[in-house]
Structures are given as structure tokens and as C-alpha cells.
Structure 1
Amino acid sequence: MQTLFPELGQTPLNEDQHQFFQQFIASLSPEQLAWAGGYLTGLVSKDSPASGATASVSGGISEITILVGSQTGNSEALAEQTHQLAASRGLRSVIKKMGDYKLPQLKTEKNLLVIVSTHGEGEPPDNARAMHEYLFSKRAPSLKQAHFAVLGLGDSSYEFFCKMGIDFDRRLEELGATRIYQRVDCDVDYEHAAEAWMEGALGELAARTEVKPQLTAVPLPSFSAAKHSLYTRKNPFPAVLLEDIVLNGSGSIKETHHLELSLEGSGLTYEPGDAVGIYPANAPDVIAELLQTLHFSGDTQVKVDGSDITLYDALYRHYEATLITRPMMQKYSALAKNPKLDQLLGDNSKKELNDYLYGREIIDLAVDFPADNLSPQAFVECLRKLPPRLYSIASSLKQHPNEVHLTVAAVRYQSYGRERKGVCSTFLADRIAEDGAIPVYIDHNNNFKLPADASAPIIMIGPGTGIAPFRAFVEEREAIGATGKSWLFFGDQHFMTDFLYQAEWLQYLKNGVLTRMDVAFSRDQEHKVYVQHLMLEHGRDLYAWLQEGAHIYVCGDEKRMAHDVHAALLKIVASEGGLGREEEYIATLQKEKRYQRDVY
């Protein structure tokens, strides 16, 4: 076994203790190591805390507020990592979610670290809307007393990449706050950039004061209280595919797969509302065509993260080989030196650029704007790392121990004379044989959870594959014997071929686990009917459920469905409640975590 700390050769530990310590340290993430360092320091301090306590820093810099706005949980995870790193440096910090934050308190903050994601087309996460509106309103206070730094999370395939991070960074400065570290905008492979920001921002804060930590005992749950897995986003688990069932009937233009994966031996756990992260590989035929177009050999060696691998392997598992992002296009443009491409990327060609990006891929860029003398190394350095794809979990762990189920629509289409396919959806549908292994991890989402009160009613709105988390919700409610009413809205194209999990829903209705279900099959009649139309049709009942304390959940397409469902909800509240304050009503539901969305 490789020794992590060679200096432990003179350790007072016996052989068994030393081996256990090495194995334990090897299992920890960087943030867990930081926490453990502070904990052990506390144990050997002058006033050594008793077992089951941890070191809490007092003194030093005034408290840092880590303000976090998150839709799916990534920002929250980074906030926790920042908090642990601050503690290891002797800095006091507290994490506050934007949705729970008392806005007038902002004027009292001295040190602000803002971690915020951008949702959809440049919108704030649901739990950050009120904070964003407040900052840009006339009520926003002077913040001349505050020091701040901003970390933005986003996806560079969207036009308004990291817009929320940009907005918060600019507005805090406009309100008089002092920026102590430059904003960092993170793409989907955010770990290294985020960790560099944490180090830099916390380093600046630490440098502004002489930190003299005083360690005091704070209650800490024992290690046995929580079960941790060694498998994470950085170290995915090779899950075996147990079953793959196509849910659509014969004649459907859709191809929706129900996948069952084994988590046996992983130690991974999840709750309904969480997602599975999957690391796919690009399709071999896509890579072959790209290599042929660029006149590259797949055997050519290139450097990836300091290691030499073949160009084929780099394109197979490490880099995006299809999706064009604006940063990728800008890097490629610098190499291609093509006036038409430069013009397309100009400030006056935003519409033309958006039109070009829609439905095209990297191979189109290489064909339309060939770059002479382009080297394989320079090409891969233009590309974005291949990120994991997230899929809503469609099962309850209580019903399916050591398994996780997914509902995946295989994406296939044609554009500009080429056959296209989704990277991960067709990786799962076409290239994973049963008993094959899939690299996975659990992406926990605390912003999409069943109510703690099992007697509370729930309303679930999930057309298409948006049904996935609600299968998990209903399975969970059955397993725990929940007494609360449940109402499901589902929609797809055709009743005969696209009624996903039909037999299961009918059984749940029969045994009372599901109280009510309304379905909309858009292509079965002359005029298209969608879930939002059913909501409006049954608006009186829906509003009555909300008045009874129902929690409402939405899952699916963000660009159209989620906006249409939100608009329908506003109309229902306005017409049935007669309030004239429907926006405030909906905002209250969100603040109370009774209106939650998992949209993409």
C-alpha cells in the first residue's frame, strides 16, 4: 500500500492503527480532510474537547457569510466545501441559503462570499429570485461596509453563461461593497476553478486580519451516525445495468428507456428528488467522422491533464465531440483565422450566431470553417471537458434496495443533412449491454424533496420523462405508509404508445396510494392538449388542494413546459383566490418550499 504520509515512519500508532489511519485518510475528499485537520487540532489543544466534539473557531476575522443560490444543489455543495476550508484556516463562516435569508440583514454583512448558479436562459435559481429582485430594487441598501467575492456556476452552451454571477458581482459593487477577489465563472466541469476561487477568496480574507483561532467544543455526531460512500463525482461507481425496458409501444416516434442499475457494494444512498450523474463516452462513429474531417489520426498522442493519451481516447472519454459552446468557438476561431467566422462571433451577429449554433455540432464547424495547419493538440485545447449528465431518479431506495432506476429518452434527430444523437442517452440506449458497467454518482438535490409531513397532500406535474421523480415519490410514499393525498398530472403524445408506466399508475390508483391522475395526450385530438390545460380545467380543485397545504412539484422541460405551467398556476391563483396578488402567493409557496421545480 502506498504511504500517504512517509513522515509517519516514527508514528506512535501501532501497525493496525497506522494501516487503519492510512485507509481512512485515503477515503476522504479534500473538504473532508480540511475538516478532519481542524477536528484533530481541537483534540490536542490545551482545552481538548471531549470525544464527539469538534473544533469551532472563535476570534480572528469577523464572521463570513457564504450566501448560496442553487437550483440542483451544486452551489450548496461548494458552499459547504468553502465553509470547511474556512474552518481549516481559522476563519469563522456561516452558510445561508438565499431563499431563507432575511433580506434587511444584508446591510449588516461585513464579509460576503456569494456562490450562485444561473438557471435556464439567464435566470436566477428559484430560491434566489427574491434576493436578486431585492438587490436590483430601490430598497437595496448601501453596502459600503462589506467585502465580497462571487463564484458563478453555469453552462457555456447557453447564451447567458453565468449571468447570475455577473449580476451579483456587478450589483454588489454598485451598492458600494469592496471586491476582494475577482469573480470566477465556472462551466459544467467546475471543480478546479471553484477550488482555486475558494483558496484565493479565503486567502484574501485571512490576509486582512491576524487570525488567532481559539478552539472550543461543539457537539458533533459520531462517524457511525452517517454512512459515507467512497464513490463521488470525482470517483464514480461502475454500476452494472440490470435491465433495460423500452416503455413506448409499437408505432411511437419516441424511444423512452426504463433502466435499472445495481448499486451493490457502492455504499451509495439517495432520496426521491435526487439525480444520478452519469459519465458517458462519445459514439465511435461520431469520433471517426470528426477525425476524418480534420485529417487527424486517432493514434496521435496528445496531452490531457498532464498525461499522454491517444487523440481517439481523448475524444472518446475526455472531451465534448459534438456540442459547440461559445468559448469553444472563440478558441477555434483564433486558430482558423477565418473572416466569416470572426464576423459570426462579432457583437452585431448575435442572432446569426444563435441560429448557427442551433442544430449544429463541432463537425459542422470544422467543415464550414476549416482551419489550416491545425494541430491535434491545439484542437483538443479548444474543447470543453465532457461533463456528466444528470438524470432524475425514478425509484425509491426503500422499494429497491441497492438499485437505482432511470427514465431516459433516447435523443435522435436530423439537421443540416446529418443524423444526430444525444451523447449520453444513446450511450445508455445503444452501447451498454446488460451486465455492462456505467460510471455513476449520486447528485443530491435538497431543493426537490417530499414534505417531511407524510400527511401533507402533494401535486405532481411531469410530462414525458418528467414523470421520473414522481415514480420515486409515489414509491416512497407507499413504502412509508404516507396518508397525504397525491395528484399526478402526466402528458405525452399518444395514449396508446406513450403512457409511461401506465400499469403502475393504474395499480396505485386502485390501491389508493395515488389519489388522482389527469392525463393529456397532445396528438390524440385535433387541438393539442398539454398538462397546463388540464391544470386550468381543474383550477378550482387545484387551488383547494393548495389551500389545504398541498406541496406542488414540476419536473421536465424548462424552456416551454415549466414556463407554461407557472403561468397556468398564476392564472389559477388569480381566478380562484381573487387575491390580485398571485405573484406574492406563489413566492410564499416557494419560500415555504411548497412549490419546487426540477427543470432542465
Structure 2
Amino acid sequence: MNDLFGSDVSLSLVVATGIVTVLLASALAFATMKTGTGSSTKKSEEPKKEAPGPVDREKFPGGEITVLYGTQTGTAESFARLIEREGAEHGFFVHVIDMEDIQVEEMLDDRYKDKESGNARFFFITSTYGEGEPTDNTVDCVAKLREMANIEVIFEEKKDAEPVEEQKLAGIEYGVFGLGNREYEHYNAIGKFFDYAMERVGASRVVELGLGDDCQDLEGDFETWKDTKFWPTLKKLYIRDAAALNRLEAAPHEELPSCSYAIEVYSNPQDAVDTPLEKVHGSSRHYFSSEDCPISTIRELRSKDDPGSTVHIEIDVSKAGNIDYRTADNLGVLPVNQPAVVENVAHSLGYDLNKIFSLKAAEGHEWHGEPFPMPISVRECLTRYCDLTSAPRRSDLKRLSAYAQDPVDKKALLRMSSKDGKAEYREKITYAHFGLVDVLKMCPSISAPLEHFLSFCPLLQTRFYTISSSSVVHPKSIHLTVSVTEAARKDGTVFKGVCSSHLAGLKPGDTVRVFNRSSTFRLPKDTSIPVIMVGPGTGIAPFRGMLQERDHQKNVKKENVGTGVLYFGCKKRNLDYLYEDELASFRKSGALTTLHLAFSREQSEKVYVQNLLSKNAKDTWALIQQGAHIYVCGGVKMGNDVNDAFKHIASEEGNMAVEEAKEFISKLAKEGRYVQELWA
């Protein structure tokens, strides 16, 4: 499916860890740094705040540390918040900062230094976005560090490289934990980059690099690093007073976990305040800047005999002032929870859905910006902003246990949250497709004040879909191709992907909140250059838009349009052959020269797009020699198999050794001639 983001991407991965690693371009294409991230971000201009008052050395004998997070789906931020919550029990006051809200040069400012030692202590928790790219909120930091550290390609470490003459970040102590996925070629490239680059510019590593693998047990990797490396190292380095350590170990645990929010309730309805984006929490800015646009068309693309569903949706953006898309861009969609889910959560926790409230920083806590528009009703908050259906992480279950009144519920939550309880967690949460709404039913004694609930409930993440229309042909309408996620549960109910099910349930006239973000999928400026497109399933999305554009170039603008080859795959021709009539029309008009079809289940031996590529090796190599641009869209496993097929073609038809073929394909990617958009 072509949802690039969130719980509808890969049920098995997301339920297990709460995130998915995504890819929006070839890693090598990123070697020349991107500078724009579309309409989704705005640099904060608000001055950074000091800790609220002088840090009490009795309570925080380790002093102050700063945790910087780079996140795309919110997981790195959630890990940073966990360190923030644990800080006091380990003796540290923890500042948490979105990497978008700090300049590299600012790291030496006095406001970031521990007031007693005078040292600046920065700890990076950062995700790798797809094939070795920084997340949107780390692009500027990565670009500046590349410049300072004289690093050409962010996923290469050259231990024999010439040292950097000016050690601009000397005096900073640091550590890094990286979030990545081994399914991608450049595993954890950004975490490794920060660890390497900071050392090159003079910073001192005080905690060894930690790496988490989303393909296995990302949360477990982080817990191990945090509990065996991070806190023990910091306490050994910064708390030398044995009496202070004894006080920390002897301190009684609070009845309820510390809460970063305080709540203000309104007796009458209130309109949400128009908040400047610089005062908004970094990962929440889409909530404030996206636009409500009406659905004009929605239709099913698969046969009624196919148990699955893929819907074609057309969104009218004619009145959206902030949406100016280009062909093959990505559309961010803000999902909405179903009313029944919202009502079940409110019932479990005893919330009045009509209550109007605002949040502010609790005493002794820093304010990180508005998480959503306020004042707001509980109903609106739970519907639009709280992730109630994704599987909670094990750390979330541990935190929930503090709110369980029944010892049986508390014990169950603690057991599943422990390292020894991984198997039970997988059985009762992962494989059962249980979200927070289900955990509240499973453990009915959980009782959390609203401000506490909002401090630990993750925010609903934007889902990104590759746009399947041409901005030239349809400038006022954005088309999406959405595979609807559903999975049967053991109890007979059905788990539904929050965003795809929301979209599939809309009718013409209903609205959806959206914004667009740029992509690296761009047709060659020279229309005569051949293109090879590989997109099985909903990977067809960008190529539908690109073919619409090629058809316009050829038959309306009368331009010389080069050879166009498309590899499309699905299960069976009569079940899920998406856009069959349109592809036939593109062939007739000359926008598409050759169409190769892989129907995987129409014969005893499964056939996939990579098999057809290998079969057509000579023709493919001839097009590459003519300067063809290659585009691949779909699942990461397919993308890896297709990449291997192209390497094999280069090796066999180009008479190259294996390593030469690998370098050749990498060179194409660096030149922007081999571009991928994959999801795990």
C-alpha cells in the first residue's frame, strides 16, 4: 500500500513497536543535501527556556542534561520523554528539545550548560528516515554538521579522514542512540552520523553509541542502552557524592507518575485560540497548518470478489490556499478516530466528552509548546489528536500500571512490560491487534486524570500517501490510491487501520484535513529521456500521475516524449489490477510504451516485477545506456529485490564485477537517475 507513514503501513511492524521506518528517496540522492521539507515545518523563533528556577542540587545531584530528538513518527520523541520522566529518579534535570528548534552553533550557549560544572551535555536520540536520510526536523542540523565536520556523504564513516582543523564544538559532552531498520541498506545512518560528526568537530563522547532495530525489538534495544549504558555512565561521571546516590535509591516512589501537564477547565464553550506556529509543539504543527478539503470522488478499485479493498479518492483543493502540489508529491492526511473508539475510552476513564479545557505546564516542568489547538473539548481531543488504536509500547504499559487500582491489573501490566514478558506482550497486544482502547477494557481498574492521560497517550501521527494525479492535468484536485488495512481478531472483531478506514468511510462532500509535502519523484526535465517505472500494488500511485503528465506532454503540448516502461504487479488480473482501463489508455496514447504485468497468483510459480525485470535484462540495459531514469515505489522487500535485479543486469549486460555493478547503481542514485519511495 502507498501509505508511507503510520499504523496502516505494516501491521506486523507497527503493532510490535509503534512505529515504522519510512523512505522518501534514495539515500545516495541525499548526498547532496535537501533544503526544503514542504509546507510542514516552520523554524521556531521563540527563545529557549531555562529550567524553571535554579536546579536544586539536593534533588538533582547530577545537574542538567539536554536530550535532542530527531523524529518522523514520534518514536524518538517518546524515547526522549521517557528519559525526561526518569531524570529525577536518577538525579538529573532533563531538558528535551526538538532538533528543529536549535542551531548547532547554539549548543555552546550558556543556557545549555550545566550551571555547576559549566559543561554542555547533549544526548541525541534520532531516527533514520528511509534509506539513510535525516528526519524532517533534523535536516538543518545534519547539513550544518556535515559542513563543520567536512563529511561529504552522511552514511559513510572514514576513520582515516583528515581531522577537522577547527574543533568548533569542543567542550560539549555527548552520546547518541539511533533508531533504524535493518531492512534498509544504510542501517541507522543518521545515528551513526551524529556519533561520528560530533567527535570530528571536537565534542567528547561520554556514552557509547546505541542502535535500535525496528525490524526486531526497537524498544528493547533502547531499554537496554538506557538502563545498562546511559544512566549508569551518567551517574558514574556526574554524581560522585555517595550520599547523594544513597538518597536517590532510598527515595520513595510517587503514588502517581510525575505529570508534565496541568489542566484548566472552562465552564462555557470557548473558541480555540489562533496560536502562532512558533509557539506550537514541533511535531504538532500539522494540526495547526493543515486544511480541510472536501472529497469529490471515492470508488473501489478492486473486484467485489477480492476480500481486500483499495479505494481511489479525489480531494478538491481548489480553495486550499496552502496546498500547491507537484506530480508525485506526498499528501499528509490527518486521521480521525471512530466515534465508538472515543466513547469507549471516555467511558473507561470516566471522562465528560463535552468538557472544555486547556493544558499548561505543571509546576516544575518545562512547556514544550501547544500539542493541539486549545481550548478544546474532550471529545474533539480524543477524536482528532490521541492515538487510541495503535499498540502501546511496553514502556507505556509500565506507565499505565501506576494508574491501575486493582493489583491483578497492575501485575498483568507490569508483567507484559517487563523484558521477561515479551512473549506475553506479543500474544496479548501485538498479535491480538490491541490498542490503548482495548488495554483499558482489558484492565478496567485503570484510572487516570485527564492531564495524566494526555501526558502519556501518543498523538495521532500524520499518514503520508503518494499522490496519484498530475498537478498539470488536475491542478485543483489531488488523487490518492489507498489500500485499506483490516485484520481479523481472535474474538471475532476486526482491527481497522485508523487512517485508511477513515478515508474509505468518507463520502463525497465530507472533508479531510491534509497538507502536501515535496517528493524526489520528478520526471526528467528533458521529456525525451526514457523512464523505467516499477510499482506493484498501490506502488502504482506516483506512476499514474507521471503517466498523466507524459500524456499531456505528448498529446497536448506536442513534445517529444521518450520511451516509458512500467512494471506493475498484483495477485490476479480479475481481482486487483488497479487502473487497468487507464493503463490501456496510456498505452494507446503513447504516454506508456511498454507495460509488463506480473500476476503473482495466476500460475503455480509466483511471478513478481523483479522476475520480469531480469527477464528483460537486455532491453533494460539498453534503456539505461540511453540515460533512462528509474523509479521504484512499493514495499521495502520488493525494493531490495528490484535493486538486486538492476545490479545483476548491470553485472551481466555491462560486464561488471559484483562490486562494480553495486557502485554503478549507487552512482545512478547519486545522480538522481535511480529514485526509490519505499515503505516497510
Aligned counterpart for 2:194 among listed residues 148, 152, 169 = 169
Q: Distance in 2 between matches of 1:193 and 1:155?
A: 27
Q: Distance in 2 between matches of 1:74 and 1:449?
A: 16
Contact 1:143/1:172 (8 A) holds in 2: no
- Deviation for aligned residue 1:163: 4.8
1:586 to 2:665 alignment: yes
Contact 1:151/1:165 (8 A) holds in 2: no
Q: Distance in 2 between matches of 1:576 and 1:371?
A: 66
Aligned to 1:434: 508
Q: Aligned pair in 2 of structure 1 residues 295, 69: CA closer, same or farther (>3 Å)?
A: farther
Aligned counterpart for 2:646 among listed residues 532, 552, 569 = 569
Tell me the amino acid that sits aligned with residue 173 of structure 1. Answer: M
Aligned to 2:486: 412
Aligned counterpart for 1:462 among listed residues 521, 524, 535 = 535
Tell me the amino acid that sits aligned with residue 623 of structure 2. Answer: W
Structure with larger RCO (C-alpha < 8 A, sep 6+): 2
**3-state SS of paired residue (1:381):** helix
- Deviation for aligned residue 1:541: 1.7
Aligned to 1:101: none
Between 289-298 and 433-442, report the one with greater CA deviation: 289-298
Q: Distance in 2 between matches of 1:260 and 1:314?
A: 27
Aligned counterpart for 2:567 among listed residues 469, 484, 489 = 489
For residues 18-75 of structure 1, give each alpha carbon's deviation from its aligned partner in whole angstroms, at most 9, with x where no partner exists: xxxxxxxxxxxxxxxxxxxxxxxxxxxxxxxxxxxxxxxxxxxxxxxxxx96999797
1:376 to 2:440 alignment: no
Equivalent pairs, count: 464
Gaps of 5+ in 2: 1-28, 48-103, 108-123, 143-150, 212-276, 360-369, 555-559
Q: Aligned pair in 2 of structure 1 residues 577, 349: CA closer, same or farther (>3 Å)?
A: farther
Gaps of 5+ in 1: 1-67, 87-109, 186-190, 198-230
Q: Aligned pair in 2 of structure 1 residues 471, 287: CA closer, same or farther (>3 Å)?
A: same
Tell me the amino acid that sits aligned with residue 168 of structure 1. Answer: F
Q: Distance in 1 between matches of 2:180 and 2:456?
A: 13
Q: Distance in 1 between matches of 2:44 and 2:526?
A: 30
Contact 1:117/1:152 (8 A) holds in 2: no
Alignment of 1:78-117 (within 5 A): none
Alignment of 1:400-549 (within 5 A): 400-417=474-491, 418-430=493-505, 432-445=506-519, 447-481=520-554, 482-549=560-627
User: Once the two structures are aligned, what percentage of the paired residues are identical?
Assistant: 27
Aligned to 2:400: 332
Alignment of 1:547-566 (within 5 A): 547-558=625-636, 560-566=637-643
Alignment of 1:208-247 (within 5 A): 234-247=288-301
Q: Distance in 2 between matches of 1:361 and 1:585?
A: 45
Tell me the amino acid that sits aligned with residue 538 of structure 2. Answer: T
Aligned counterpart for 1:319 among listed residues 359, 371, 386 = 386
Contact 1:551/1:595 (8 A) holds in 2: yes
Q: Distance in 2 between matches of 1:329 and 1:419?
A: 23
Q: Distance in 2 between matches of 1:341 and 1:70?
A: 45
1:385 to 2:459 alignment: yes
1:289 to 2:344 alignment: yes
Q: Aligned pair in 2 of structure 1 residues 562, 293: CA closer, same or farther (>3 Å)?
A: farther
Q: Aligned pair in 2 of structure 1 residues 568, 255: CA closer, same or farther (>3 Å)?
A: same
Q: Distance in 2 between matches of 1:281 and 1:550?
A: 41
Contact 2:349/2:447 (8 A) holds in 1: no
Q: Aligned pair in 2 of structure 1 residues 146, 331: CA closer, same or farther (>3 Å)?
A: farther
- Deviation for aligned residue 1:83: 12
Aligned to 1:310: 377
Aligned to 2:435: 361
Tell me the amino acid that sits aligned with residue 595 of structure 2. Answer: M
Q: Aligned pair in 2 of structure 1 residues 84, 384: CA closer, same or farther (>3 Å)?
A: closer
For residues 273-310 of structure 1, give each alpha carbon's deviation from its aligned partner in whole angstroms, at most 9, with x where no partner exists: 20111112111122233344445553455545484533
Contact 1:462/1:491 (8 A) holds in 2: yes
**3-state SS of paired residue (1:549):** coil
Q: Aligned pair in 2 of structure 1 residues 443, 163: CA closer, same or farther (>3 Å)?
A: same
Tell me the amino acid that sits aligned with residue 625 of structure 2. Answer: Q
Tell me the amino acid that sits aligned with residue 142 of structure 1. Answer: P
Between 288-297 and 576-585, report the one with greater CA deviation: 288-297
Q: Distance in 2 between matches of 1:427 and 1:405?
A: 16
- Deviation for aligned residue 1:130: 7.8
Contact 1:243/1:261 (8 A) holds in 2: yes
- Deviation for aligned residue 1:351: 7.2
Q: Aligned pair in 2 of structure 1 residues 243, 132: CA closer, same or farther (>3 Å)?
A: same
Q: Aligned pair in 2 of structure 1 residues 318, 194: CA closer, same or farther (>3 Å)?
A: closer
1:249 to 2:249 alignment: no
Q: Distance in 2 between matches of 1:468 and 1:354?
A: 33
- TM-score, length-normalised on structure 2? 0.59
**3-state SS of paired residue (1:562):** helix
- Deviation for aligned residue 1:347: 5.5
**3-state SS of paired residue (1:131):** coil
Aligned counterpart for 1:138 among listed residues 143, 159, 168 = 159
Tell me the amino acid that sits aligned with residue 178 of structure 1. Answer: A
Aligned to 1:277: 332
Contact 2:358/2:375 (8 A) holds in 1: yes
1:596 to 2:617 alignment: no
Q: Aligned pair in 2 of structure 1 residues 585, 346: CA closer, same or farther (>3 Å)?
A: farther
Q: Kindly report the root-mean-square deviation, in angstroms, between the aligned alpha carbons of the 2 structures.
A: 4.4
Tell me the amino acid that sits aligned with residue 448 of structure 1. Answer: F
Contact 1:259/1:406 (8 A) holds in 2: yes
Q: Aligned pair in 2 of structure 1 residues 117, 424: CA closer, same or farther (>3 Å)?
A: same
**3-state SS of paired residue (2:304):** coil
Alignment of 1:179-198 (within 5 A): none
- TM-score, length-normalised on structure 1? 0.67
